[in-house]
Amino acid sequence: MATDPVCGMSVDERTAELKLVRDNRSYFFCSTHCLAEFAQPERALRGLRRKLVVAWPFSIAILLLTYAIRLPEGAWLSLALASVVQFYPGFQFYVSTRDALTSRNWNMDILIAVGTTAAFGYSVLVLLLPNRLPSALYFDASALIVTLILTGNYLEHLTRERARGALRKLDELLPATASILREGREIELLISEVRPNDLCRVRPGGRFPTDGVVVEGHSSVDEALLTGESLPVEKGPGDTVIAGGVNGGGLLSVRATNVGEDTVLAQIGHLVTEAETSRVPLQQLADRIAATFVPVVLILAVASAIG
């Protein structure tokens, strides 16, 4: 079973219809919402921010109308405000529920959609059918559940965006081109065109384009961003250097050993990505429980309503 990199739910690769390939790796998703967020994270973050700008003021207003400010038409005003929260910020839970039912990947969004809809729908019926149902309104509950869950989602997405920002900074450590010595001539190549055993020339102040071994020259090298060394380290023939390190005051000729995705810098990026998308064993257990817990809760709720 694959894991949705956004929500962490387990997805069956054999039946999953939502898939995205990035960096030669396939990712599977439980809903179109998770797919859109993974494909365009910055846009998803802006969308969540807009929803919260609406959800929080409206939810607070509903709380005030319910418990603090008594108005003759307060219930109907709460209905109007709760409708906006339920069907604008909360609409994504309905989309996720549709996708979950279609793909048979039961997730917690189903319970959120069912629970908030039940609270909202019952409250609407109380207003439309006075004296026929117990006069209890739950507009505050439906609105706050949507708002608080979206707030948690926003904080989680914000953390992931910061992690992606760290990855982008790692990528910026590499130069766009490298000076390569071939057949006695020095030529400029794109970093993607450098191959193992190429002889790179790195001038003072330049960054190393690949991992490699110094074959000529002496210099101090600053690798603090990668190794944490507080001071530059002296390098000479036979010493190893890391892609992204900064050459000091000497000219160095370096034989490339690891290039592209094989460099230490790239491996660090892969580890960060894996940590971002992987789930700890406890989370995996919770996902497996949720897959059974959700339908069981729905069945019990229906049975209680019938009984």
Give me the residue spans of the domains in the chain.
2-171+269-306, 176-262
- Classify domain 176-262 at the CATH class level: mainly beta
pLDDT of residue 104: 75
pLDDT of residue 258: 93
| Residues in the chain, pLDDT under 70 | 1, 8, 23-24, 275-288, 290, 307
Q: Are 82 and 142 in contact (CB under 8 A)?
A: yes
Q: How far is CA 45 from CA 48, 89, 96, 244, in A?
A: 5, 13, 17, 30
Rounded Cα distance, 245 and 261, in Å: 16
pLDDT of residue 287: 63
**DSSP string for 97-130:** HHHHHHHT---HHHHHHHHHHHHHHHHHHHHHST
Enter the tokens of residue 173: 């450590």
pLDDT of residue 286: 63
Q: Give the whole-number percent of the chain exceeding pLDDT 90.
A: 46
pLDDT of residue 23: 65
Four-CA torsion 129, 131, 136, 140, nearest 10 degrees: 30
Q: What pTM did the predictor assign?
A: 0.75
pLDDT of residue 284: 61
